[in-house]
Amino acid sequence: MQQITESLQTKLSRLDREKAISGLKDYFKSEIKTRLNLHEVSAPLTVIKGTGINDDLNGIEKPVQFLAKSLPGTKVEIVQSLAKWKRLKLAELGVPAGQGIITDMRALRPDEIISPIHSIFVDQWDWERSISIKNRNLDFLESIVKDIYKSIKETERYIVGLFPSLKAFLPKDIKFIHSEELQYRYPKLSPKQREKVVARDHGAVFIIGIGHELVDGVPHDLRAPDYDDWSTPAVGNYKGLNGDIIVWNPILKDAFEISSMGIRVDKKSLQHQLSLTKTENRLSLSFHSKLMNDELPLSIGGGIGQSRLAMLLLRKKHIGEVQASIWPEVLKEDLKKSGINLL
């Protein structure tokens, strides 16, 4: 695959950088809406605690909570993602199979360890699409991943057109590989090390089946049990109808996750995954009860990092260069000395 170097980073004024970020986001959202047949909707920043709507992501993160004066006795949470809320929205709007919704999600994840690619503030395109039962399979999942990747490639073409010194570097096609196969190929490497090797070798990969234990008894990564289906048999002995889109970042020289997504749990996989994680008590929550009572559509969905995509395509070393967030003052000063100015 084609490589680029740091010397090809375009130097933008802060105003031009903001214009580039805005233009990139607008272009990608238009692309993905067309390819996946999505309708734009408004999204909440907060949800009521105890409904099961908020996501605990890999199962352990705790959301920001507060008491609202006008809602006495009610605990409110700032969203961490909208995976479950979107499925409820599909049902509320009566969105038919083959169509879906997309929203600009803003969230806080206070347990996030900040780094060049992580912030406690999260901005992503959260999307969800109703599907029929015949599409709950790996072939359909892969077809949606290909459409998303085409949108990323088109956005890269758009940005290179605006800033010709930014040479296109993403490969034409995305590679599909199961997390179980990755472990088989590189048994002595950690999951993150495996991601780095396969992303470097192929440029863009979709790692399938994240959440279920691999043959060594450890999952590739953790996933909450009640949105992505990571336990249904997919092909052969492999399990999972979900995964991550990961590309090779030539500036960071590392694997770089752009999206986590998947076909969502149905009644059978929800019960199974709650059993595996010993969280059957969630079945009494509002969201889970609706799913078990056939009040929610089958769906596929995910989140696509807005700042992650901007960081990648604008060749930035730190997510703070494309996103306004909070950082330790000592970090900001150190980065400034290196020529990295955070927004």
Tokens 């929550």 belong to residue: 285
Which residue in 31, 180, 229, 244 is the catalytic one? Answer: 244
What is the Rg, in whole angstroms, of the alpha carbon atoms belonging to the chain? 20
Question: What span, in angstroms and rounded, lies between the C-alpha atoms of 66 and 151?
Answer: 38
Contacts of 117 (CB under 8 A, 6+ apart): 252, 256, 308, 311, 319
Which residue in 260, 269, 273, 299 is the catalytic one? Answer: 260
Provide long-range contacts, Cβ within 8 A and 24+ apart, for 191-197: 191/220, 191/221, 192/255, 194/220, 195/246, 195/255, 196/254, 196/255
Active site residue 185: no
H/E stretch holding 329 reads helix 329-337
Which residue in 81, 124, 306, 323 is the catalytic one? Answer: 124
Which residue in 17, 31, 77, 109 is the catalytic one? Answer: 109
Contacts of 29 (CB under 8 A, 6+ apart): 40, 102, 104, 125
Active site residue 109: yes
- Overall size of the chain counted in residues: 343
Active site residue 260: yes
Which residue in 111, 257, 282, 325 is the catalytic one? Answer: 257
Helices (H), 179-305: 179-185, 191-202, 267-276, 286-292
Active site residue 257: yes
Active site residue 306: no
SS3 state of residue 301: strand
Q: Which residues of 181-210 are buried (b: 16+ CB within 10 A; e: fewer)?
A: bbbeebeeeebeebbbebbbebbbbbbbbb
**Active-site annotation, residues:** 55, 109, 124, 244, 257, 260
